Amino acid sequence: MGQFEILPPLRRLDSSMLRDNENYRGFRMKRRIVLWAMVGLLVGCVWVAYAFATAPDIEQRSAANTVVQVLVYVTCPIIAVGPRFYWIPLVNAATYALLGFAWESIRKISN
């Protein structure tokens, strides 16, 4: 052991050792839930940017606008509560995290 070594070498910890560990499976589930939340945040930000970009045309009723509204309500359900743009991405991230938790829990039970 050298004079400046404080931590043991990390090469002893193999990834195959981690895969067998129950903690590693929990870590993977948490990571996937965080990814769900990040996707929800991104989707919320995209819809807020779209709303700001098309603000003058929001009152026009067309088939394309109806399709966009359906997409908004499906991918960002919190928009139905009210159009407060500053908190939509955060609440949408929490919604996606809850959906991700439910999905990953069902997935874990089925495996």
36-70 burial, b at 16+ Cβ within 10 Å, e below that, comes to bbebbbebbeebbeeeeeeeeeeeeeeeeeeeeee
Task: Report percent pLDDT > 70 for the chain.
Answer: 67
Quick one: pLDDT at residue 16?
57
pLDDT in tens, 6-23: 545 545 555 555 555 556
